[in-house]
Structures are given as structure tokens and as C-alpha cells.
Chain A
Amino acid sequence: MAIDTTDAVPAGAPARTPVLSVRDLGVDFYVDGTWYPAAIGVSYDVFPGEVLAIVGESGSGKTQSSMSLLGLLPANGRANGSAKLGERELLGMSQQRLRQVRGKEIAVIFQEPMTALNPVYTIGFQIVETLRTHFDIGPKDARARALELLRLVEIPDPERRIDSYPHQLSGGQRQRAMIAQALACDPKLLIADEPTTALDVTVQAEILKLMRDLRTRIDSGIVLITHDMGVVADLADKIIVMKDGRVVEEGSSIDIFTAPTHPYTIKLLEAVPHLGRSADVLAAETSDTSDTSDTSDTTTADRPVEPVVAPETAQDVVLEAKDIVIEYPGRRRQPAFRAVDGVSLTLRRAEVVGLVGESGSGKTTIGRAVVGLLPVTSGELRIVGQDMVGATLKDLKPLRSKVGIVFQDPGSSLNPRLPIGESIGEPLLLHRGLKGAEMSRAVERLLDQVQLPRAMRNRYPHELSGGQRQRVGIARSLALEPQLLVADEPTSALDVSVQATVLELFQDLQREHGFACLFISHDLAVVEMLSDRIAVMHNGRLVEIGDAAQVVNHPRDTYTQRLLAAVPVPDPVAQQERRLTRDALLEAQRDELERAEIARAEQLTDASEKADLDAHDVLDQEGGHTTGRGF
């Protein structure tokens, strides 16, 4: 089956007729008296059993051009051109007939399953609803079919889950339920709009596996809309690359990845942080041998995990954490939730430490505690000489000028009512009392540093693009020349190419200013690029810490191994290899995972602990189904 992914198209395509044939599709939007084109002259064919990936950045028109097929454009949008589903023209079809096509012949998997599923109905009800809208079918039969679908998408314990509400399922399970709903009527065409973007990397790997598995079984065409080149490499047969509403390049997956011709495609591929870039050669070796046989890294691999740190002078250490525990207080009868449990970590001057983990692992909690936004429950935490345990607001005032933080979402971290010059200048005003011309100079200097035009200081956050906003966030955090910077997923909300430029800027600034940095991210490839050392967190505990190269190339902890194996790389051939490696790894770790699961199940008295459920999903899958799938 793994071989299928590359061979299916050239062999089967010419003989078959396309499910969907789009010709010269254009989408325009009416804004303020003028029509602006969002997509121009898009043409492609989708054949049964084929995955067509539409790749592009936000605003490139990839989503709008696909939504126009279903008549789901906003009221100020217009589509023109032609899109034929089989023999029927989709554009210009009446609402009534379009309703029969939606769900039955064309189904959509949305990005965020939590918002795409209705929270007040059970998932079973929602699948049954789709079925009964399109078929003359009794409630009993529909339910039986829904169960069958849930089994198809490998939701564990489907008899019980069918009566679950969306909030009772983990992210991965929700996405599976949505896939089941999309598949309910055996659609000829499936549009998957960023189906894994909202998911953790290990869950993403599971969903991708499921989708790869399904497409051979259901024989429908799949349009995959995504910006993640790793996902594309994993799943796509054909790729079209969109930029500013136009298709700039199209071709088979192998062609695009190995020999891109359009400069934009080349730039896009270069911008993708490539896991194991530091040791590409090693990666290939480690895929079939275990980490013991390698020679170049034995020194790091043999070192014990904890006492890496040589005795330092007190001034050199900017962050020192010993066994810190951070709890979110419970409400009423609920017990306190322990988000971080016994973590020890040291950061020296000018050192970049990457903190990696999935959502709910407690990495952001640590970041917020470091800047004093959350109290530490117990343990020892010293930041630039300031004891953070039990510190009052007044104690923290001097610390504010030594520690900065860059937030994840640049849209939310800037006050929408303040011009950005004022946002950047606020720390200067509060700590140094800068005003007037002096302040202007300081703000302009900071804008120069992050390569933004000076005139931008009078603009408001909503006028800036995501990348520009994040630059503003960085400028603000650097305003007081901090010794320690906490970067909480600063690029996860950005497009790949923007991410690349922001990361580059970040590296330059770090070199120039020499601040220590705690770089929090879920993206191992980004962390590998920036960090001297990497710390891996899992369920509130630090499971591994070591030099970046060692952690990425020779992970010692089983969780780190799983995490690394799940990261898709933007190269179809290598990705195929990685898939096999991952399955082998999961197989090897199966016993351990099952044991861990049992242990957790006993521990889990509160069945509704959401954070735990997320991890649970993976384990459920691994435990029950790896054997049945022919790998």
C-alpha cells in the first residue's frame, strides 16, 4: 500500500474519467465598491482514488476556490468559470439541487472539528442526520450504518462513542468522527480543508494514516487543502501550488518535491523547516539501525541525562528550576490540576533551549511561570537572581525589565485599540519613563531592529499581516534588552515562508543581543533549527533533555522517539520510509504503551480530564489496530 501512493496515478489515470473537472475557475470578492479577485483561472482534474493537494499560503485563494464548488462563498463572493462534477456543472446550480450534491457527492472535512461539529448533538445523531437527509432509510438502519462508519474510521469502542458529544472526545477522535460523517454517503469527492492543522503531531500522523488507508478503500477523489508540505508529501499524488489566486505550478508529487521549477515553489520548499536537517545523512542511517551503532554522536549519547550542566557561576545562570510543580487551583469540589510536575531546567546566558511537547504537556505553563504570570506551587525557580516562589507583584517589578515574552498569537497579544508604536513603547514608558522625542527614537530603533518601516508605528494591529504583527511582538519583548526571553510558539500561527523570515530575524537578534531564550514549540523542526539544547515534555513531566542534535537524531526516551517519528518531512520518498519506521517503532513499543495505558486508566478517576484524553487517543489506536492494517 505504501508503494501505491506513488504508482497509482500514472498507471490508472488516463483510462478513467475525472470525478471533478475544474476549468478556468475564478472567485471575486466585492469590497467597498470594487471587485477583487481571490482566485483566477484555476484548472485541475481529480480522478477517483487520487489525492490532489492544493498548496499555498493564507490568502492564496486555495480555500475559497474549493468552497466555491459547494456554493459556500460569503455573500459578497462570486465564482465564475466552470466546475464539473461528472457531467453536471456545479457553478450556477440552484440551491435546491446543490443541496443534494453537498454531503452526498461532495463532502468536506473541516479544519477545526470542535467548531465544525455541533456541540449539542451526539456524533451519532450528526452522522445519522446526514444519512437520513440523503437516503430513505429508517433510524435503526441509519444507526447501524453510523456504527459501521465509526468502525471504518477506527474510533475505539464505537458502540459507546456513538452516543458521545463532541466535547467528550479527544481532538483526534473528533476529527475521526467528522471524517465518518463526511464518508457517510460514499461521496465521489472529498474536500479536506487543512484536516490536521489543529491536531498534535502524533495525532496528525494517525489521521494521515487513516486517510491514506481510506482512499484506497472508498475510491473517491480527495482534494487536500493544506499549507503543510509534510502532510502533502505524506498523502498527495498530484500537487498544485497557488500564489495570489493563481496556480503557479502543478505536477505529480514526486516532480514537485524533487524538481520544482517555479521560483515560488522553490522558495516555499526551502522555507519549510526540515527535521533532521543538521544530520540528514544520519537520519537515513538511524532509520534502520537503532541509536547504539552510530559513531559520530556517541559522546553525547553516552552522557547521562541530568548532570549535563557543569558547575556555573551564579551570574551565568539566568534560569534555574528545581523540581517545580505548577498547579491550576481546582474549583469547588474539583481537585487542583497539576500541569507541571517536578521539572528541573537550567538556562545559561545566551543559550537557546527548546521546550517541546504536545498540547496539554505543560510547556506553555512553564513559560508563563517563568515570566511571573503564574505562581509556582512548589519547588525552586530563580530567574535572573529573583526567587519566583511566593513573589509578590512588587517583587516582580524589577524582574520585568530583565525578562521578556513573545506570545503565540500575534493577533491577540497586541492591544487592538493602541497604535503599535505605543504598544512597543509601553515597557519603556513604564520602566524608564521615556517620553516625547526620546521615546520616538527608541521606538524607531526597535522597529528598525525587527525590519519594519518606521512609519508603521502609527498603524493599528489589524492593519498588519501576521508576520508583521509578530515582529512587533518581538520588538516589544526586546524593548528593555532582557537577559531572558520566553518565546511561546512565536511562529505557529504564521505561514511557512513568513515563519522562515521571522525565525531568521529571531536568530539574528539572538546573536546580536545575546539573550538567553526559552523557545517553546510543538514543532520539532523549528526547535532543532534554533536551539542549543532541547527539552521534551510529556504530561507535565520532562522526559528528555539534551543537546539538540542528540535529541533529534538519537532520542533516548520512548516518547521522544514516537514524537519524532510522527513528524512528516517534506519529501515523499523519505516520508514513505519514515512511515515504515514509525510503524515498526510503534510495534516495538506496543507492550510498553499498553502497560502505560493500563496504568493511566487506573490513575484516571476523572474520566473527563481532557488533557489526558488527547494522549489517550494515540494509545487507543496503537493498542488496538496496528496489527489489523497490513503494515
Chain B
Amino acid sequence: MSTVEQVPPQGSADESTENAIELREVAGLSQGQIVRRRFLRHRGAMVAIVVLTLVVILAFSSVGIGGWTGWWLFTPNEINVVINGGKPTLLLPSWLGGDAGLWFHWGLHPFGQDEIGRDVFARVMRGTQTSLIITATVGIVATGVGIFVGALAGFNRGRTDDILMRVTDLVITMPVIVIGAVLGQLAGGNNPLIFGAFLGLITWTTLARLVRGDFLTLREREFVDAARVAGASNSRIMFKHMLPNAIGVIIVNTTLLMSSAILLETALSYLGVGIKAPATSLGLLISQYQEAFSTRPWLFWWPGLMIVIIALSINFIGDGLRDAFDPRQKRIPSERKMAKAMSVDGSVARSMSSTVAPSNQIGNAGMGPS
């Protein structure tokens, strides 16, 4: 910000007034900084990021990964003595309507135990881990394929476009669940990475079409012509000039794709064609415990709760990113803030003599639709 003040544009003093007011909000910031600033202001997305980070940390640190066992007492497949019918020992504090006094009471098996005594907390954490890995893999693979196909089709148009888009259409026409089932059968089982990669290979279509659409409009922009006249090669134009301008669409859709990926994984595992025991995932947990719905409902709650938390967080982050990248999204400042700024700012004290009664401001003339 400070650099702006240092360099008063010489010889163009009268040119700088144009759009001056609208530009004040973005003065001295690069495109990336503007986006970051808008994103950081999005309260929902910020909360979601915190929640998601906590979930990730919890899932990976509690039961560990690979050779590392984590800090939790039990491992997911360890069979223990069933205590108190396996009921959760977690008690809510009194301010949440529970009877644990001032703070949570954890106990030995906070999420309870299943019928053969396995610790549900450990199982849910492992399942969350698997689901998160799958989600991330799907995101990476689908984004890569989607960008590649979409960019090629949008940039080259004509034949390439026709062929690539027909292939995309073909993939879209096939029901994801069916293909997922087949691929899952072939590649699923124990390895979430392979399973995620295969899911990624059938979910890239939306992104490919969006990137193609973006590239089609971008290639008509004059800066692309300018780059071509400057002698830039096709790949330079695509990667240096067009891709950064399409990044908004890509990031936003990747997050949304990831939140649907976790639901897809759940659905496939529930149907029994995804991750298989002894590995576990949230969908598989729900599927395994569905008979116990009436007798041990907690077996059902926890994986469901995790799915909802993860999917919601990712969606909120996607929302925040979309708002941040969309130049048309202008924050409408709150009435209170505006009124406060007006009373603080002495230079506009005359504005206080507005004919608009302060109590009656909403929906008044001179303010546009509220």
C-alpha cells in the first residue's frame, strides 16, 4: 500500500481521476492480494477453514498413519471388552445441556463401541482419514485432467474441440455410480489413493467444460492477440496468459468437486463397491452399522456427522473462493458501518443534513434497491 504514495504519476495527473473512487479499494494491490483480502473477509469460509483444519489434524494425529500409531489409546480394529453395552462415554458440559459439569467428560470410549467392542472413535478417525485422502486425490486428478482437456479444446477449437468434447459428453452420459462401482471393484479395496484416482478419472467432466468455456472467451480477449503479435508460442499463451486468468473458475470448481467426491465415496462404499474391510471409510462405517440403527444409534451418528462437517466446510470454502474471485461481487457494506463512518468523517459532515431521515433510510431515494 505504501508504494502507491511514493510514486505520484508524473505527466498524467489529470488521467488519474478516472474511476478513482472505485479503485480506492484496490489501490496498490495485485490481483492475488485482492482475492486474498476478499476471501479473508468471508466469515463462513474462514470458520470452515478452521473446522476443516481441526478435522484433518484430529483424524491424522489420533490414530496415526502408516507405521505411526498416533496418540489415541485404541487402534481401529482392536477388539476390547464391551463396557456398558458400548454406549458413548462422552458427556456434554452443562452449558450444552449435558451433565458433565463445566467441561466435557471424555471417558474411555467417547464415541462408544460397536457390538464386538471396537472403539468407534478410532474407527471414525481412520474412516475420516481415508475419506479425506480419497477426496484430495479425486480433486487433484480430476482437476488435472479437466484443465488439460478443457484448455486444449477451448484453445484449439475446431476438430480438437469436437473430439474432446464428444468424449467428455460420453463420460457424462455414463452414470457415475455404475462406473464407480465397476472401477471400484477393480481398483478399490484397500488403497484409497488408487480408488481416488479412478474416481477422479470419471469426475473431471464439469471442470473440463467450464475451463473450455473460459478459454473460448479468453482467447478472444485482446491481450491474447497482443501476446501472439509479440511472438508468444501457443503453449506460452495457454499457460502464461490464459491459465492464470481462468484460475478462479478452476479453484472454485475444484473445491465443489471435492465436496461432492466425499459424498460419492460414501455412496460407493455404502453400496459395498468402494473401500473394503479391513480398511475403512466413512461410507463403509455407515454401511456396516446400518443394522444397528435402532439398537446402537451412535454407531451411525459419528460417521454421518463427520461427513456433514467435511462436506459443509469444503462447500463454504468454495463459496468464499467464488465470492473472492468474482469481480462482480461487491460487498455491500452494512448500514451501521456506513452511518458510523459518516459521523466520524468530519469532511462529510454536511452529509448529515441529508433529507433522508436516519430512521427511515432503508429503501430511500438515492440509495438504490436495498
Residues of A at the B interface (CB closer than 8 Å) are: 26-38, 57-60, 68, 71-82, 89-95, 98, 244, 368, 371-373, 397, 400-401, 403-405, 407-409, 412-419, 423, 426-427, 430-431, 451-453, 455-456, 458, 460, 462-463, 465-468, 471, 473, 476, 479, 495, 497-498, 501
Contacts and interface: CB of A to CB of B under 8 A. Distances in A.
Contact of A413 (B29, B31, B226): B226
B22 A373 contact: no
A426 B232 contact: yes
B229 interface: yes
A75 B18 contact: no
Nearest to A401: B231
A72 B351 contact: no
DSSP majority for the A interface? mixed
Interface in B23-57: 23-31
A451 B222 contact: no
A467 B12 contact: yes
Contact of A57 (B18, B241, B364): B18
B221 interface: yes
Interface stretch (B78-86, B172-180, B336-344): B336-344
A59 to B, nearest CB: 5
Contacts of B245: 415-417
Contacts of A26: 350-351
Interface in B202-236: 221-223, 225-232, 236
A465 B16 contact: yes
B170 interface: no
A400 B228 CA distance: 9
17 contacts: A35-B342, A35-B348, A68-B365, A73-B368, A75-B367, A80-B350, A94-B363, A95-B363, A95-B364, A373-B228, A413-B226, A416-B31, A417-B245, A453-B7, A462-B26, A468-B9, A501-B15
A373 B341 contact: no
Nearest to B224: A415
Given A405-B229, A426-B232, A31 B21 contact: yes
B15 A465 contact: yes
Contacts of B228: 373
A455 B363 contact: no
Interface string B239-267: 00100110000000000000000000000
Interface in B260-292: none
Given A75-B332, A401-B231, A31 B10 contact: no
B301 to A, nearest CB: 43
A456 B8 CA distance: 10
Given A430-B230, A452-B12, A79 B18 contact: no
B332 A430 contact: no
Interface string B316-349: 0000000000000010110001100110010010
B2 interface: no
Contact of B27 (A73, A407, A453, A463): A463
A36 B8 CA distance: 20
Interface stretch (B90-98, B116-124, B354-362): B354-362
A71 B3 contact: no
Contacts of A94: 363-365
B17 A451 contact: no
B366 interface: yes
Contacts of B295: none
Contact of A92 (B19, B20, B332, B355): B355
B360 to A, nearest CB: 8
Given A74-B368, A92-B354, A35 B341 contact: yes
Given A30-B341, A57-B17, A463-B26, A90 B31 contact: no
Given A75-B332, A98-B365, A463-B23, 19 more contacts: A38-B21, A73-B366, A74-B368, A92-B356, A94-B364, A244-B17, A404-B229, A405-B229, A407-B225, A407-B226, A413-B222, A416-B223, A423-B223, A430-B230, A452-B11, A453-B9, A456-B9, A460-B30, A465-B12
Contacts of A32: 24-25
Contact of B351 (A35, A57, A407, A467): A35
Instruction: Kindly list the 7 A-B residue pairs having the minimum CB-CB distance in the complex, ordered from nearest.
Output: A79-B366, A455-B7, A467-B15, A413-B222, A400-B231, A71-B365, A427-B230
A37 B345 CA distance: 12
Contacts of A473: 226
A479 B330 CA distance: 37
B23 to A, nearest CB: 7
Contacts of A404: 229
B231 A427 contact: yes
A71 B364 contact: yes
A75 B332 CA distance: 6
A413 B23 contact: no
A29 B345 CA distance: 13
A498 B14 contact: yes
Nearest to B10: A453
Nearest to B225: A373
B6 interface: yes
A451 B10 contact: yes
Contacts of B17: 57, 59-60, 244, 465
A476 B337 CA distance: 43
Contacts of B223: 412-416, 423
Contacts of B294: none
B230 A400 contact: yes
Given A412-B222, A453-B9, A35 B345 contact: yes
Contact of A82 (B7, B12, B25, B355): B355
B19 A59 contact: yes
A466 B366 contact: no
Contacts of A68: 365-366
Nearest to B228: A373
Nearest to B22: A31
A465 B17 CA distance: 8
Nearest to A68: B366
A91 B21 contact: no
Most chain B Cβ neighbours within 10 Å, of A58, A412, A451? A412
A73 B363 CA distance: 12
Nearest to A58: B18
Given A30-B341, A409-B222, A430-B230, A463 B28 contact: yes
A71 B367 contact: yes
B368 A75 contact: yes
- Which of B10, B333, B367 has most A Cβ within 10 Å? B367
Contacts of A33: 337, 341
A466 B229 contact: no
Of B21, B25, B338, B365, most buried by chain A (CB within 10 Å of CB) is B365
Given A405-B229, A415-B245, A28 B351 contact: yes
A94 B11 CA distance: 46
A97 B17 CA distance: 36
A89 B355 contact: yes
Contacts of A479: 230
B365 A460 contact: no
A225 to B, nearest CB: 16
Contacts of B351: 26, 28, 35, 78, 80
Nearest to B244: A417
- Residue from A415, A451, A458, A498 having most chain B Cβ neighbours under 10 A: A415
Contacts of A81: 355
Contacts of A397: 231
B232 A31 contact: no
Given A426-B230, A463-B26, A71 B368 contact: yes
A50 to B, nearest CB: 24
Contacts of A460: 29-31
Contact of B31 (A244, A462, A476): A462
Nearest to A488: B222
Given A38-B21, A80-B354, A463-B23, A468 B366 contact: no
A415 B230 CA distance: 13
Contacts of B230: 400, 426-427, 430, 476, 479
A451 B15 CA distance: 13
A275 to B, nearest CB: 24
Interface string B138-171: 0000000000000000000000000000000000
